[in-house]
Amino acid sequence: MSIHFPHRFRPVWRLVVLALLMVPALCPAFQANPQATDAGAGRGRILLVLPFDNNSGQPSLEWIREGASQILGSRFLSAGFAPLSRADRLYALDHLGLPAGFQPSHASSLKIAQTLDADSIIVGSFRTEGSRIETEAQIISVPRLKMSEPVTAGGEMRDLVAVFDSLAWKLTKQLDPAFSVAQETFVAAGANVHLQAFEQYIRGITEPDQDERLRHLQQAVKLNPDFSEAWMALARADYAGQRYEQAAAAFAKVKTNDAESLEAGFYRGLALMFSGDYAKAETAFAGVARVLPLAPVLNNQGVAVSRQGHDGTALFRQAEGADPAAADYHFNLAVSLNRHGDKGAAQAELAQYLKARPNDSEAQQIQSAWKGASSTSTVEPLERIVRGFDAVAFRQAAVMLDQMEATRLAALPPAQRAQTLAVQARDYLSRGLLLESERLYQQAIAQDNRSQAAHAGLAEVRERTGDAAGARKEAQASLELQPTVDAYLILARLDLAANQLEQAGHNADEALKLNPNSQAAKELLRQLSAKQGATKQQTP
């Protein structure tokens, strides 16, 4: 399978391959990546979602232009596509000599998409009618220069996120007619988004004035303390302003299942180092390295270890091995080796560094001092820090791991493939990621329709999204394959909500027969008893 990356992503592929060689087995964090199982990954799935046109006539609603792009991009990512980020789009505009606020025509949109190697462009608009918002969007196929039929979605302004979630689902069905995740699941994915917090976040990331940007982002996280994207944007702003303690605290708020969690961990490590908290910095870098041990992360972890007075030589060796062409890794290894008594190896590494950077006066003085050719005393040098997160390298490595996982899955028998997918889906469900979870459960059922775990898991997804009929159907399908506590409990909860008390009691009892210690079943019976008591009191 060929790997398809935008042109500007390709120069760092060697770092990624070397890093992957250091991974002893597929990392759990990426084994559970739903993109790993999409047969079409890398083919026709790179999307450029442009800001929507504001046809409302209300300048106060300009923030919705970028907000639409953010919501759709998030849902497309969860659906297994590869939407380009706002940073990617701004890069393309800058590369083409266009301002960040440029509103492209269809022709210039194609130019931007071609710059980023996008397969499709999403263009759209919105308007308002009283308290309602109406949206429309189309897909432009870049290779075929063809525009799809428009899709629409509308609703009350207070339900803006749900409106764009519905639009995202309709667009996804156009992009992939075989896509089977329910529309309700798309809407449920954004159900916890606080609209006012989201508005403040969008205003924050688009605001050019630094003070205003901070004000909006601080308001966003105040309104919604669990808003990872807003915490990430606030942390970036604090870091850029050299408010390192505040930045470290904000980066720590980014959830581990967020798409930017690795970047957050890396910059949290830097912020902690610049704050002088080397022990916590080491922990932060180590957390990132456990997922993808790329050279910059290993190097900085080694620096954090060294600044605590410990030996970081092993980490510097790993960093150099992952990227032997990077001169600073040779320098750092040389300094560490010399500090810990391996003088000969230190001089050899420093010589390697000076081959790449022969005009570095500090390194020249160090070399003279180590050889005893200089009587000038020098302060012991410090290892150098990598100050930038290479999101491109991490993205490439993640995609390559996804493709490795897809290859591994393809080699399994269908029943085992379904079992693996169901386990991955359960992990997503446990973290509240309903869209990702349903997609994997659907794929598991497509591989093996007799997967009891997949039907039971899909039943729980349906229950959480409010689709009682769908939840009941899947729970019953699961029970026909194998009686389980989870399936009986789903039916019991559905029966209780529908006021079918006798049937609810029966299903809860069946769950207890399978697991007499089930606290969930006992709690359901308590709720049932309370409801039956209340019903008797109301009956004359």
Model pLDDT, residue 374: 56
Pick the CATH number of 39-193 from 3.40.50.10070, 3.40.228.10, 3.10.20.600, 1.10.10.60: 3.40.50.10070
Q: Report pLDDT digits (tens) over 47-80.
A: 999 999 999 999 999 999 999 999 999 999 999 9
Place of tokens 């509103």: 103
Model pLDDT, residue 155: 97
SS3 state of residue 205: helix
Model pLDDT, residue 534: 67
Model pLDDT, residue 102: 73
Same fold, 295-387 and 410-538: yes
Q: What is the DSSP string of 300-327?
A: HHHHHHHHTTS--HHHHHHHHHH-TT-H
Residues 6+ apart with CB under 8 A from 317: 333
Domain spanning 295-387: which CATH class is it, in words?
Answer: mainly alpha
Q: How far apart are CA 306 and CA 282, in angstroms?
A: 10
Q: What is the pTM of this model?
A: 0.82
Q: Where are the domains of the chain?
A: 39-193, 295-387, 410-538
Q: How many residues does the chain have?
A: 540
Residues (pLDDT < 50) of the chain are: 1-43
Q: How far apart are CA 276 and CA 307, in angstroms?
A: 9
Q: Name the CATH superfamily, with its identifier, for domain 410-538.
A: Tetratricopeptide repeat domain (1.25.40.10)
Q: How far apart are CA 484 and CA 201, in angstroms?
A: 43
Model pLDDT, residue 292: 83
SS3 state of residue 417: helix
Q: Report pLDDT digits (tens) over 524-540.
A: 999 999 888 766 555 55
Strand partners, 135: 126, 153
| Residue 493 and residue 475 in contact, taking contact as beta carbons nearer than 8 Å | no
C-alpha distance across the termini of the chain, in Å: 72
Question: 120-129 and 132-141 as β-strands: parallel, antiparallel, unpaired?
Answer: antiparallel
Give the H or E element holding residue 156: strand 151-156
Angle, vertex CA 45, rays to CA 40 and CA 46, nearest 5: 145
The C-alpha R_g of the chain, in whole angstroms, comes to 27
Model pLDDT, residue 11: 33
Q: What is the DSSP string of 451-512?
A: -HHHHHHHHHHHHHTT-HHHHHHHHHHHHHH---HHHHHHHHHHHHHTT-HHHHHHHHHHHH
Model pLDDT, residue 375: 52
Model pLDDT, residue 539: 53
